[in-house]
Amino acid sequence: MEHAPYPTVRLRPKANARTIRHGFPWIYEDELVVDRRTRAMPGGTIALLEDAERQPMGVVAVNPASKIIARMLDPDPEARIDTAWLAARLTRAADLRGRLFDAPFYRLVHAEADGLPGLVIDRFGEVAVVQPNAAWIDRLLDPLCDALNGLGVARVVKNAAGRTRALEGLDDAGGVLRGHVEGPLPVPMNGATYMADLLGGQKTGLYFDQRDNHATVARLARGARVLDVFSHVGGFSLAALAGGAASALAVDGSAPALELARAGAEASGLAGRFETRQGDAFATLEALADETARFDIVICDPPAFAPSKQARDAGLRAYERIARLATPLVAPGGFLVLCSCSHAVDLAAFRVACGRGIGRAGGTPRLLHTGFAGPDHPQLPHLPESGYLKALVFAP
């Protein structure tokens, strides 16, 4: 952990200091004076940021290996980034969630939007899964665990998967940091029980961001036949069954994810109305059409087809294809729910791609509802990446 005085880094004259002072949390490489001393700083170094006139602007985390060379931690130049500072940020985040949820199962920290850039924490009761996606917090995992312990989190898991850590020059070594964790953990949500694999599952083991969209589908689901494609551990399908759906078919390419979905259905008392089918989503949609299968609600919640700007066009084509293949499976009077977690695809572009796909399949793209991530995933208005999730409900 750094100690005062922190080293100093300085903005170039062409950098927009006003934008940073107004809350934009990132400083790019071409905005910072990068001399030999700065280039030699270890990734995650805590530093004092000055503007081009050498006026202090706050405390930042510097990583010369990243295109985002500095991340604003605190606009107070006197701030000290230590266990007490982390505890204060975590307490503020926990207090907000405590007003929103009855039980401590939620995203506790949503990176920049909670004042902890690059850090994601999902809380599962007394267990937390941390994703340290920036070098500064990867260096401060012990103080972070101490601060989490102070919130009543006894066990901490580090998830180091994903492309973001590689962009920061970090390794992919995860594991248990505090306490003992084994086996899937039951998580109550929307009237169902989900089984989350915190050690070997995707991301942090469960997608809390879709909670409100699961609830929207559940309200439509009474008596419905439901198809949940890219189901993961049964997010939409279990919520729909808890809401009174007649049946649900979960489709995913991952056998372990479907096993967890079946375990969740058993734990929820819903197994008698729940089926799974393993396979490629595109091929399965085509096969179901050949079987003349029809469902009252069809949900497609794929992984990010456009994880970067370079993949945007290919991602939009994939979203259009999903919409085209899914539309014929929707029974008359039914609903089609299409989701995107690609931050590189904005809402308007996603909406157009979905509408084009529905139209190509002979449907009418009547958009009934637009959903986003829940309030435990706050957004920064000037950082579009923080509002990545979109869920569109059509009556095609």
> Structural domain tally of the chain?
3
SS (H, E, C) 227-253: EEECCCCCHHHHHHHHCCCCEEEEEEC
The last residue of a domain, from among 56, 74, 92: 74
The catalytic site residues sit at: 341
The pTM of the full predicted model, rounded to 2 decimals, is: 0.94
Q: Residue 148 belongs to what domain range?
A: 83-178
Q: For residue 3, tell me if it sits in a domain.
A: no
Q: Are residues 206 and 335 in the same domain?
A: yes
The reported pLDDT for the residue numbered 205 is: 81
Strands of the chain, DSSP E: 8-10, 26-28, 45-50, 56-62, 68-74, 105-110, 119-124, 127-132, 155-158, 175-178, 185-189, 192-196, 225-229, 247-252, 274-278, 295-300, 330-340, 367-371, 390-394
The reported pLDDT for the residue numbered 4 is: 52
Q: What is the CATH number of the domain that holds 60?
A: 2.30.130.10
Distance CA 64, CA 71 (A): 11
* Burial (CB count <10 Å: 0-12, 13-18, 19+), residue 25: buried
Beta bridge partners of residue 339, listed in sequence order? 391
Q: Are residues 29 and 150 in the same domain?
A: no
Q: For residue 184, tell me if it sits in a domain.
A: no
Q: Are residues 337 and 203 in the same domain?
A: yes
Beta bridge partners of residue 68, listed in sequence order? 28
Q: What is the pLDDT along the chain (396 residues), one digit of tens a residue?
A: 444 589 999 999 999 999 999 999 999 999 999 999 999 999 999 999 999 999 999 999 999 999 999 999 999 999 999 999 999 999 999 999 999 999 999 999 999 999 999 999 999 999 999 999 999 999 999 999 999 999 999 999 999 987 889 889 999 999 999 999 988 999 999 999 999 999 986 777 899 999 999 999 999 999 999 999 999 999 999 999 999 999 999 999 999 999 999 999 999 999 999 999 999 999 999 999 999 999 999 999 999 999 888 999 999 999 999 999 999 999 999 999 999 999 999 999 999 999 999 999 999 999 999 999 999 999 998 888 888 999 999 999
Q: Are residues 173 and 204 in the same domain?
A: no
Q: Are residues 97 and 203 in the same domain?
A: no
Q: What is the CATH number of the domain that holds 348?
A: 3.40.50.150
Q: For residue 339, tell me if it sits in a domain.
A: yes
Q: What is the CATH number of the domain that holds 118?
A: 3.30.750.80
Residues 156 and 108: beta-carbon distance below 8 Å: no
Q: How many helices and strands (H and E) does the chain possess?
A: 12, 19
